[in-house]
Chains A and B, each alone.
Chain A
Amino acid sequence: MDLQAARIALALALPFLGALGIWLSGRTPNRREAVTLSAAIALLLTVLSLLPAVLAGERPAWTFGELVPGLAIAFRVEPLGMIFALVAALLWPINSLYSIGYLRGNAEKHQTRFYIFFALALFATMGIAFADNLITLFIFYEFLTFSTYPLVTHKGNEAARTAGRVYLGILITTSIGLLLPAIIWTWSLTGTTQFREGGILGGYLDGPLLGLLLCLFMFGIGKAALMPIHRWLPAAMVAPTPVSALLHAVAVVKSGVFTVVKVLLYTFGIETLQGQSAADWLLYIASFTIVVASIVALRQDNLKRRLAYSTISQLSYVILAAAILAPLSLVGAALHIAAHACGKITLFFAAGAIHTAAHKTQVSQLRGIGWRMPWTMGAFAIGSLSMIGVPPAAGFLSKWYMLVGAFEMQQFLAVAVIILSTLLNAAYFVPIVFSAFSTPRPDDAATHGEAPLPMVIALCTTAALTLLLFLFPRIPLQLAEQMVGYAP
């Protein structure tokens, strides 16, 4: 096992060992939180240490073992996985800081269980990011579903149980009912499930059958929340906000779209899909999801639900960008995974901060709150800009690449959808910011200030990241370009 392989193993082992450490130190909260933070920071350093090699064109790999003859549990760090792993590893320490503030501020129960499953979810995320074949990816994909179930149902009441049923029901039905047969079909056709540049299905399938397999994959990856299998995402919003923030803005949903892009690029292959009319539907369904989810978001008064529908719409941006099948739009897709993660986690952090400090959950209650919580609402404004795609926020960059790619392929439908949804995004985010900074109602007797300090630090950091990603996009851009085969 060489050094690079050891780093991959370490990146997987750290969250797992972290979970173990949290369990063992569960009786002393301070030590427990210290374990969480140190595991998170150690993971970030490990992932960063892999970066130079990947940028230099290397592809570190590690094989854990063989499941059955011919099916290996293997990992390989390619540029897209690197971006995803970086995003998750970067946001975990920040999120942990936030969680500490949130859980203590709201006096939540079962905090040890919360941190354990959180770390396990990160373990699964790392496995997904580095997976070298479909089977490894599937294993960690399922692990992620089950390890997040106790987080979604954290409150343990009737509402949480119902939401947990929807969450598990949809994710398991799609993954076992559609994704698994798709993977086995692929294996039965090609004798491999490895992710290879250019895809593995070329020459094996075409016409309607290819469309069917694509359908199995795209709807099987329920975490990507394509309509009509998006219902689990709003349902999961009963979870405590840190869960919604990291898992439903970063780890879980991004695992979905990451898998989508990976399957399109490395299982089907762009060239196999180009010119296949049976694959066109993906573009339409993604467009439909973007527009409809935005319209639904517009009508939500609950802040977290509005953010949830916004996430559904933003996820389909990534799918749309990949479905355009142009190299530049694929760069946009990869960048959007990072950009949306930073922006959306900021928004969720802000929503949680408002809930903790002011105990407010509805958009209509937020008038004038910006004057009491300037840092929170300032960060919220930056996050909103990124969602809309306005400079100087990271969302602008990814949208730019998507648009250029769409023009290149003359996909004017996609262009129209992106522009329309930009307007819709503005329509449901700008009013929140405006009313937050308008004069409070005269009968407003609120006396609260900002949320606890760790939360404010966390949300300001992610807001800053959103801006920095716009100003210094060199590393993710290089990785994304490598992914589509541009010379670095």
Chain B
Amino acid sequence: MIANNLPALLVVLPLLGAPLCLLFGRSRLAWLIATLIGWLGLAISVALLLRVRDGSVLHYAFGGWAAPWGIEYVVDPLAAFVLVTVSLIGALVLPYAWRSIEREIEPEQQALFFPLLLLCLAGLLGIVITGDAFNLFVFLEISSLSAYALISLGRDRRALMASYQYLIMGTIGATFLIIGVGLLYSLTGTLNMADIAERILPLTAKNTLRTAYAFITVGLALKLAMFPLHLWLPNAYAYAPSAVSAFLVATATKVALYAMIRFIYSVFGVEFTVAQMHEDWLLIPFAAAGVLIASIVAVFQHDIKRMLAYSSVAQISYMLLGIGMFSVAGLTASLIHFLNHALIKGALFFALGAVFYRIASTDIDAMAGIARQMPWTMAAFVLGGLSLMGVPPTVGFISKWYLILAAIDKGWWLLVMLVLASSLISVIYIWRVIEAAYFKERPAAAPSVREAPLALLIPTWLLVAANLYFGVDAAHTAGLAGEIAVRLMETP
């Protein structure tokens, strides 16, 4: 009974857990429930991945209503892969958050944190698992609305402005998406993504279809912070509480990216997107510009959280490059980076959160000389940074390897140089932090601090360990990503 309903449980558990947590307020019980749900979610995702590892597809009719009428949940290897990524980060953020939010959220608002985070998690998992275009929009709104609220919990008053900015941009994106989905419905009379994919095959010459496509891609591009639609992201991630930044950077934009892959490859099909809509002409130039410009902007940031936020824009552009190549190699690179970037940025934001816990700032000047007082935290930051640069044996290297390989296969040498240039720029901005933390003296007025508590260090180091482990033994992740890429390219 439970085994058959796993797809539903994955979304329903956090959805029900959210009000439950609210009932317990600021007590430790709320945290325990949320963490338990987070870990259950991870277990369910892994179970689902194991079930579809052979390439099969799980269909789950929600409430027993068969596909075209009811909402269908579909778990194929791609969905399972993303589910595991998202719930893994969720499962690590929740235990981390307990100590982290103590310092970063006003006491009277702390009760809101766990319910909101669970809602956001439910929304993100729902986007990934659903097979229904309208349902996808609903989940997108659930996750986005809770994300706006989560960001606004930040103590810095600028968090409110950042959240508002994100709200405006995000709502435009969501509106575009729903307009696109509406057009598709008017054209095909169905909201089931697999059905839409079948029925639009004879309709590819219709302007309505093209309009729908344009609305959907631009809407999702806003949500996933594709350059130059990324303007909401740096502020949102810089002023949100650290646990929120870590969670959103590793999952929210990724899931929007997943939705984009779904629409481009599975619903509209490669044939239509490339031959008629020339999606590659849209993605490659903007992504290339994003890789370079966002990296350069990152170098000039004083706030390290902001710096990492810009770096995320560049890293998302890496994934868009892979998607825009429309080749198995490119898609493989993109999917591997999907997981890898979550691990890298998760580790870095966790380490920064630990720094913030002690010195209440992530400004580069405030972090001067901090490595002597917080050696473990900064060592985690260094390892995460090495992974971001793409130094072997870390996951960052694996990502870079596949992306460059894909570009060479296409013969795009300019792109190869661009990717390499951006990783060299990442050396510069990471090393700024390392030099400040290790070589400079602590500012005279700064109080002496201790190492971060274990409750923060353990999740951080778990992610660092994952960075190293999947950097040495990438056979499984790369193999899975390769298989998924082949499937996606095959679908009509």
Chain B nearest CB, measured from A409 CB (Å): 34
Inter-chain contacts of A135 with B (CB < 8 A)? 392
CA gap between A187 and B409 in the complex, in Å: 11
Query: With A142-B392, A177-B420, A181-B420 known to touch, is A65 a contact of B472 (CB < 8 Å)?
Result: yes
CA gap between A370 and B16 in the complex, in Å: 84
Minimal Cβ-Cβ distance residue in B for A160: B439
A10 at the interface (CB under 8 A from B): no
- The contact string, 1 if C-beta is below 8 Å from chain B, for chain A 146-176, is 1000000100100001000100110011001
CA gap between A139 and B468 in the complex, in Å: 13
Query: With A69-B475, A73-B472 known to touch, is A176 a contact of B390 (CB < 8 Å)?
Result: yes
Q: Which of A67, A146, A156, A188 contacts B475 (CB 8 A)?
A: A67
A180 at the interface (CB under 8 A from B): yes
A51 at the interface (CB under 8 A from B): no
Minimal Cβ-Cβ distance residue in B for A139: B392
Interface residues on chain A, number (Cβ under 8 Å): 28
Query: With A66-B475, A177-B424 known to touch, is A139 a contact of B404 (CB < 8 Å)?
Result: no
Chain A residues numbered 128-151 whose CB sits less than 8 Å from any CB in chain B: 135, 138-139, 142-143, 146
**Is there an interface contact between B479 and A69, defined as CB atoms closer than 8 Å?**
yes
CA gap between A169 and B408 in the complex, in Å: 25
- The contact string, 1 if C-beta is below 8 Å from chain B, for chain A 58-73, is 0000000111110001
**Is there an interface contact between B420 and A185, defined as CB atoms closer than 8 Å?**
no
B474 at the interface (CB under 8 A from A): yes
CA gap between A279 and B405 in the complex, in Å: 25
CA gap between A124 and B392 in the complex, in Å: 12
**Is there an interface contact between B472 and A180, defined as CB atoms closer than 8 Å?**
no
Interface residues on chain B, number (Cβ under 8 Å): 30
Chain B residues numbered 443-492 whose CB sits less than 8 Å from any CB in chain A: 472-475, 478-479, 482
**Is there an interface contact between B474 and A67, defined as CB atoms closer than 8 Å?**
yes
A54 at the interface (CB under 8 A from B): no
Query: With A181-B416, A185-B408 known to touch, is A69 a contact of B392 (CB < 8 Å)?
Result: no
Q: Which of B405, B424, B439 contacts A161 (CB 8 A)?
A: B439
B281 at the interface (CB under 8 A from A): no
B43 at the interface (CB under 8 A from A): no
CA gap between A332 and B138 in the complex, in Å: 72
B225 at the interface (CB under 8 A from A): no
Query: With A65-B472, A67-B474 known to touch, is A146 a contact of B391 (CB < 8 Å)?
Result: yes
**Is there an interface contact between A184 and B401, defined as CB atoms closer than 8 Å?**
yes
**Is there an interface contact between B404 and A180, defined as CB atoms closer than 8 Å?**
yes
**Is there an interface contact between B420 and A139, defined as CB atoms closer than 8 Å?**
no
Chain B nearest CB, measured from A220 CB (Å): 11
Query: With A139-B392, A176-B390 known to touch, is A68 a contact of B478 (CB < 8 Å)?
Result: yes
CA gap between A135 and B402 in the complex, in Å: 13
Query: With A142-B391, A172-B424, A176-B424 known to touch, is A181 a contact of B404 (CB < 8 Å)?
Result: yes
Chain A nearest CB, measured from B324 CB (Å): 19
Inter-chain contacts of B479 with A (CB < 8 A)? 68-69
Show the binding face of B for A, using Cβ within 8 Å.
386, 389-393, 398, 400-402, 404-405, 408-409, 416, 420-421, 423-424, 427, 431, 435, 439, 472-475, 478-479, 482
